[in-house]
Amino acid sequence: MLESVEDLDLDIPLASKYVALFIGNVIAEENSIPLSFLGGALDHLVESGKASQIVVGILKTLVSLKGEEPVVEMCKNSQLEFLKFLPEDKRTADELKKLLEEKQLLFLLETKQ
C-alpha cells in the first residue's frame, strides 16, 4: 500500500490521508506494529513530501485515539527522528517546528529536546 500511495493520490486525492488513518489505527492497537516501523517504510516518499504528510496523519490519529501522553511515550520509545521525514530542502528544525505547530503536534517536538 505504501509503495503506491503517490499513484493512488492521483486517482483518489485523499488516499494519503486514508492510509495514515489506517496505519494510525493499526499502530494504536496493542500488540500490533510499532511506531518505529515508519523509520524505513516511508523512505521512498520523503522527497515528494508525502512521508511527512503521512507521519503527521498517523500521529494525529494516534493522539485522537490514545491521547497526548501515550503518543509522546510511543515517540520516545520508537526513537524516530522526525526530521528524516521532511524533504531534503526543508529538513531543518524550523521547518519541523512549523509543520508540527500547524498540525497542533508541537508538544511532540518539545518532549524530544
Summarize pLDDT for 3-33 with one digit per residue, the tens. Answer: 777 777 777 888 888 889 999 999 998 768 8
Please state the domain extents for the chain: 2-112
Residue 31, sorted as left (phi over 0), alpha (psi -120 to 50) or beta, turns out to be left
CATH of domain 2-112: 1.25.40.180
The three-point CA angle 14-15-20 to 5° equals 100
Summarize pLDDT for 42-97 with one digit per residue, the tens. Answer: 999 999 999 999 999 999 999 999 999 999 999 999 988 999 999 999 999 999 99
pTM for the complete prediction? Answer: 0.86
User: What is the separation of C-alpha 61 from the centre of its chain, rounded to a whole number of angstroms?
Assistant: 10
